[in-house]
Amino acid sequence: MKKTVSLLCLAAVLMTILSGCRIVHMEEKEKTPLDYTVVKQEDIPKEVAALIENKKAKEFQMTYQSENFLYLIKGYGQQMSGGYSIQVEELALSDSAVFFKTKLLGPSDSNQGGEPSYPYIVIKMQYREEPVQFQ
């Protein structure tokens, strides 16, 4: 009898864990793309530019709110040359968070060399209450 109860408890725990995994997996699929603008360097707010300058040597990510806008900033730290670009792979909203995923694209062979660079991207979007998850 004790073995049967133990096995039933174990089965219940496993079912709970497995159903929880499915819920998380479904949530990841239910994302809504968000509108955004890539901010030109000359249009970056002075406060944001100062924060970037202080953090640019190392990889960083941060958010900044100004009025009804939210700025998402992702920096990739010091690179050995110029010619890098950053691609936004995802900016989407789920029930629980805003997901922001970028990718650093390397320079072509002809653009390598020269001075180090500090690639970063600044995204401007409508303010959201949800936390931002950088990926």
Pair (24, 66) in one structural domain? no
Task: State which of 10-14, 90-94, 111-115 shows the largest mean pLDDT.
Answer: 90-94
- The parent domain of residue 9 ranges over 1-30
Domain count for the chain: 2
Residues 44 and 104 in one domain: yes
How far is C-alpha 9 from the geometric centre of its chain's CA atoms? 39
Q: Please tell me whether residues 74 and 85 are part of one structural domain.
A: yes
Q: pLDDT tens digits, residue range 82-110?
A: 999 999 999 999 999 999 999 999 987 66
Pick from 66, 95, 92, 84: which is nearest to 120 by CA? 84
- Contact between 89 and 100 (Cβ < 8 Å): no
3 state SS of 72 = strand
- In angstroms, the CA 43 to CA 1 distance is 72
User: Stretch 31-51: mean pLDDT, rounded?
Assistant: 96
85 and 95, same domain (yes or no): yes
Return the beta strands (E) in the chain as ranges.
Answer: 32-33, 37-38, 59-66, 69-76, 85-93, 98-105, 120-126, 132-134
* The pLDDT of residue 49: 97
Q: Is the pLDDT of residue 23 over 60?
A: no
Do 20 and 72 have their domain in common? no
